[in-house]
Amino acid sequence: MIGIFDSGTGGMSVYREIRKVLPREKYVYFSDNAHCPYGDKSAEYVRDRGRFITRFLLDKGADVIVIACNTATAAAVSALRAEFPDTPFIGMEPAVKPAALGTRSGVIGVLATAGTLKGSKYLTTKGKFEDNVRIVEAVGRGFVELVEDGRLDGPETEKVVERSLRPLLDAGADTVVLGCTHYPFLKDVISRIAGEDVRVIDPAPSVARHLVDVMEERKLIRGDAAGEQDIELVSSGDPAPLERIFRMINTERV
Ligand code: DGL
């Protein structure tokens, strides 16, 4: 069974890709929306949540855990790997490398939470590419709340998105990295504001491929799902946002 967690519904943008490559697996998804957003919380707080949720997912029978949250990965993945050595953890990291390799303008924009942008892994990756490309960053202020509330489009959403995105575009970014798993649900709005010449990168497909590699290597692919979409949805707060996003990603498929 594959355990997935996020501070809220954002990790569903990762599940959406994972189920394409692992359609016959069982899933349990934990939305920690009673504690959302993680982005402005201390690393220690997010780590504690990560520990609690990991125990919960292991009790449910998870044999691999996807931290479908950049902020939680930055704060907790090393501690969780040390504390739960028998469990493989798959984390998220802003896709700076493909952006740096593909940019024509030499400027890439990274949209993420404050917690992710402060994380040591991100800072190390950024350091590797900074000699060759200019990396400009912005926190997507209010983006997580928009997604949790299901306000994925409309004039108000455009206004909120434009406020954080504009500085990146003004700096000349021709590539925008979505460094928070909530943000792909705003991709249509982001692309509309950025224009068709700007490439918007969602790392979820490559994370899904990496998960397959890890599960193959450890012989964890079971193919024991009871029919299509064997997933248990769990929320620490109101269950409605997760159910809404789940319905939405299922409608997208048809
Ligand atoms: N979806 C999350 C991430 O990838 C967390 C957003 C938040 O709770 O602030 O960073």
**Distance between CA atoms of 222 and 241, rounded to whole angstroms?**
30
Number of CB atoms found within 10 A of residue 184's CB: 22
Q: Where in the chain is the domain with CATH 3.40.50.1860?
A: 2-92+204-250, 96-201
Q: In what order do the strands lie in the sheet with 199-201?
A: 134-139, 107-112, 175-178, 199-201
Compute CA 230 distance to the chain's CA centroid, rounded to the nearest angstrom. 21
For 61-186, where are the alpha helices, taking DSSP H only? 70-83, 96-102, 114-118, 120-129, 143-148, 155-170
Q: Which CATH number fits domain 2-92+204-250: 2.60.120.650, 2.90.10.10, 3.30.70.120, 3.40.50.1860?
A: 3.40.50.1860
Residue 190: other Cβ atoms inside 10 A? 23
Question: Which residues participate in catalysis according to the annotation?
Answer: 69, 180
CB-ligand 1 contact for 73 (6 Å cutoff): no
- 69 Cβ inside 6 Å of ligand 1: yes
Q: How far is Cα 92 from Cα 69, in angstroms, rounded to an integer? A: 6
Q: Nearest 5°: phi and psi at 201?
A: -105, 120
pLDDT of 254 higher than 70: no
Tally of helices (H runs) and strands (E runs) in the chain: 11, 9
The pLDDT assigned to 227 comes to: 83
Tell me the per-residue pLDDT of 55-72, one tens digit each, with 9 for 90 and over: 999 999 999 999 999 999
Query: Is the per-residue pLDDT at 114 higher than 80?
Result: yes
> pLDDT grade, residue 75 (50/70/90)?
very high
Closest CA to 110 of 145, 143, 76, 135: 135
* pLDDT tens digits along 168-179: 999 999 999 999
pLDDT band at 253 (very low <50, low <70, confident <90, very high): low
Our measurement of the distance from residue 25's CA atom to the centroid of its chain's CA atoms, rounded to an integer in Å, reads 20
Q: What distance in angstroms lies between residue 248's CA and the mean position of ligand 1's atoms?
A: 19
DSSP code of residue 173: -
Q: Which fold has domain 96-201?
A: Rossmann fold (3.40.50)
**pLDDT (0 to 100) of residue 163:** 98
* Cα–ligand 1 centroid distance for 216 (angstroms): 28
Q: Does the beta carbon of 36 lie inside 6 Å of ligand 1?
A: yes
Q: Select from 36, 180, 245 the residue to mutate for testing ligand 1; criterion: most ligand atoms less than 8 Å from CB.
A: 180
- Look over the chain and give the mean of its residue pLDDT values, rounded to a whole number: 96
pLDDT in tens, 213-228: 999 999 999 999 998 8
Whether pLDDT at 22 is above 90? yes
